[in-house]
Structure 1
Amino acid sequence: MSASTLPFHADHIGSLIRPEYVAEAQEKADAGKISAAELRDTQKKAIAHVVKQQQDHGVRALCSGEFDRKYYFSGFFEKLDGFEEVSPVPWDLARLSAAPIAALKKAGKQYPMAAICTGKIGYSQSPYLDNWKLLRECVPKEQWGECKFTMPPPCYFHLRLAKGKCYNTEVYKNDEAFFNDLAAAYRKEIRTLHGEGLRNLQIDDPTLAYFCSDDMLKGLRDDGEDTDKMFEMYLKAHNDCIADRPQDMHVGLHICRGNFSKSMHFSEGSYEAIAEQFFKTLNYDTFYLEYDNPRSGGFEPLRFLPKHKNVVLGVVTTKDPQLEDAELIKSRVKQAAEIIAKGQGRSVEDAMQNIGISPQCGFASVAVGAEGMTDEKMFAKLKLVQDVAHELWPDRP
């Protein structure tokens, strides 16, 4: 199977409901009450358990549940040379015009953590190798290819920190120089992880979808940003990060819109505004897109999906424990397939081979799951995805 082949028609995004004992260990480590090694032992135990649960339920891809990190975006930037962690983040460092920051401040919450570039970016150690090993060591070597590992996007803090605060302007004179060095670090990390057996990498980006939002764009423009150039810069940064990756490394991109609850999210608006440029520019093998409710718009933007790319439709929500209707999911997938097929000049049957389904996001991307979601209900959601996929693609996993 080539790296560009869709790994699974039934997939999931990566984060799973975090056991309470893991959250408690993280709090104790933050407070200095237990050592980093003790926290790691707790995470290792939890990852082994959740991987066994996924195996027992036939869930793929096999993931760590992201129990190896405090937040889905933590543990990478702050371990590169040249970055320093700031926690919590003072409001004067944050981009208050950005929807996620504004929502946190309005809710009376702190912006929990940021990594600020204070020196020249370097790669003297792998930020995530130990994390990958926590997952890899839970399965036999022949199953390493069934595992998926997640990383944050290069533009994560650039968007969320105030203009001019993301990096030291005495070290980097402009965004281009900053992203060039950052992308070089990503490429080294990808090669390191590949050398240790990783074959399925997913970048989680809750940034690009903000360019679908009129409110978000207005806020950025009020900050003096040229949003068209900013979007182009972010797309280039993504491509630079995954350039020259090993041929047998599958790399996917998950576009997230915020996943705190049924009522709280950070971005809405159809993908139409960015779709053509997004699909035709980015060099990812697979796009994981959120389609669990009307705020994401219809499937029409998928007409721009190139023939050699895959899309995984996030048609099952993780923000509500109520199970979706299987027949409705199947009809929605077929609707998407018809749009893709027409846009590509292919048959619907052919287009279906490049389509998968999944929950729209992780179950606990920021360590806290949706209200009412339990392990039992989470695995019921994942089984629903499997059952529907088995009916739509009976000959493929």
Structure 2
Amino acid sequence: MTTTKNKIGFQHVGSFLRPDVLKQARKDYFNNEITQQELTTIENESIKDLVQKEAAVGLDYATDGEFRRSYWHLDFFWGLDGVDHVHYGEGYQFAHEETRDDTAILSGKVKFNPNHPFIKDFEFLKSVTDELDLQPKQTIPAPSQLYIELIRGVNADKVKNYYPNLEDLYLDIEKAYHDAILAFYDKGARVIQLDDCSWGLFLDEKFLNTPDGKAYADSGIQDILLNLNNKAIENLPDDLTINTHVCRGNYHSDFAFSGGYGPVADTLFAKENVDSYFLEYDSSRAGNFEPLAKVSGDKNVVLGLLTTKSGELEDRQTIIDRIKEASNYLPLDRLWLSTQCGFASTEEGNVLTEQQEWDKLKLVKSIQDEVWN
């Protein structure tokens, strides 16, 4: 059994397609047709069923599928003190469609709230995984992602109101995240994943060739993002694993950015102090494996070679060959395999069926067993 398998086990990036009963319950709740308690009961039952399916497919770590969230990132932000839920007026423009227009803006100083709903949500997940002898995995958006949202366009006007000195904002984001991570740890979390699309802006040549893109790339913001993430995860318990997942957008099977990891490798791969990187590598948009040579120390890379944007199963030998190719840049015992992203980064979900998502995970597991056992 390889070192990588011992360290990582079989885990999914995070989100799963919402079952129809849960989708209907959320609609009914927002239409004031059921109570919060009735919605929570349906969420609980849906999560119990999901975790049982995760166990059945062989996962060592289980998530709650992000079933209580609308978005992979915004719901966490809204639970912090000093952050409000508003409508931006327009969504993010992906390659083929526009997202909903929810966003997060400042309404005060950023601070972790001990009553953040994600803490209670994790407690419930752990109660379910304990019964099935699984480990719970908590996913949250990275500190860098919060910063990117807060300075997005007109949102930045609010930042100026509360933080005339940006250094104070950095410190508050770092502390809020550090406190949140310790709160999860105190409830039994031992694997926390920081989901991070903020680096995608540096990868897309089309964007970088625009005046705004050139200014952004030359702004020194990579160092800001790196420091936010690293300071947030400083001085944590030794038995807590912090991973990160980096992709180029995942909304209703659409993507936001294209481009290889080269422009961020010297910062993200060489200097971010995480244990493992879950990386999108399911299409030519992700570039080649050469940037993996910049992954420093003994950090691992989980190759996201199977797409969640389509239900079509990948060719098994093609995946195995790509793993072998990646091992030219990072040793095989520091590589692992997953899907490139979750199946439903937002509640809309990607365009595939529930059966297809489980078939994807079965293929991941069987290739892991063949390549690394």
Tell me if TM exceeds 0.5.
yes
- Partners in 1 of 2:85 and 2:13 — Cα distance? 26
Q: CA deviation at 1:6?
A: 6.2
The answer as to 2:170 corresponding to 1:170 is: no
The answer as to 2:300 corresponding to 1:310 is: yes
Q: 2:353 aligns with which of 366, 371, 374?
A: 374
Q: CA deviation at 1:388?
A: 0.4
- Partners in 1 of 2:159 and 2:144 — Cα distance? 16
- Partners in 1 of 2:158 and 2:4 — Cα distance? 35
Q: 2:231 aligns with which of 233, 240, 246?
A: 240
Q: CA deviation at 1:223?
A: 9.6
The answer as to 2:268 corresponding to 1:269 is: no
- Partners in 2 of 1:365 and 1:244 — Cα distance? 30
- Partners in 1 of 2:259 and 2:216 — Cα distance? 20
Unaligned runs of 5+ in 1: 92-99, 341-350
Give the secondary structure class of the aligned counterpart of 1:365: coil
Give aligned pairs, total: 368
After superposition, the C-alpha distances for 1:120-146 in whole angstroms (9 at most, x for unaligned) are 1223324221111121111227836x2
After superposition, the C-alpha distances for 1:69-108 in whole angstroms (9 at most, x for unaligned) are 121113322122211111x3224xxxxxxxx72338x846
Contact 1:163 1:223 in 2 (8 A): no
After superposition, the C-alpha distances for 1:10-53 in whole angstroms (9 at most, x for unaligned) are 43201011101212222232333333222221111110000001
- Partners in 2 of 1:147 and 1:182 — Cα distance? 25
Taking a change above 3 Å as real, the CA distance of residues 154 and 385 of structure 1, as seen in their structure-2 partners, is same
Partner of 2:363: 384
Unaligned runs of 5+ in 2: none
Alignment of 1:286-365 (within 5 A): 286-340=276-330, 351-365=331-345
Taking a change above 3 Å as real, the CA distance of residues 276 and 183 of structure 1, as seen in their structure-2 partners, is same
Partner of 1:15: 15
The answer as to 2:165 corresponding to 1:186 is: no
The answer as to 2:194 corresponding to 1:203 is: yes
Q: CA deviation at 1:280?
A: 1.4
- Partners in 2 of 1:84 and 1:18 — Cα distance? 25
- Partners in 2 of 1:77 and 1:353 — Cα distance? 36
Q: CA deviation at 1:359?
A: 0.4
- Partners in 1 of 2:184 and 2:327 — Cα distance? 34
Taking a change above 3 Å as real, the CA distance of residues 22 and 142 of structure 1, as seen in their structure-2 partners, is closer
Partner of 1:259: 250
TM-score, normalised by the number of residues in structure 2:
0.91
Give the secondary structure class of the aligned counterpart of 2:235: coil
Taking a change above 3 Å as real, the CA distance of residues 123 and 110 of structure 1, as seen in their structure-2 partners, is closer
Contact 2:243 2:274 in 1 (8 A): yes
**Percent sequence identity over aligned pairs:** 28
Farther off after superposition, 152-161 or 362-371: 152-161
- Partners in 2 of 1:6 and 1:218 — Cα distance? 43
Taking a change above 3 Å as real, the CA distance of residues 220 and 63 of structure 1, as seen in their structure-2 partners, is farther
Taking a change above 3 Å as real, the CA distance of residues 232 and 337 of structure 1, as seen in their structure-2 partners, is same
Instruction: Write the letter of the residue equivalent to 2:317.
Output: E
Taking a change above 3 Å as real, the CA distance of residues 279 and 194 of structure 1, as seen in their structure-2 partners, is same
Q: CA deviation at 1:357?
A: 0.3
Q: CA deviation at 1:215?
A: 2.9
Contact 1:158 1:166 in 2 (8 A): no
Give the secondary structure class of the aligned counterpart of 1:188: helix
Instruction: Write the letter of the residue equivalent to 1:314.
Output: G
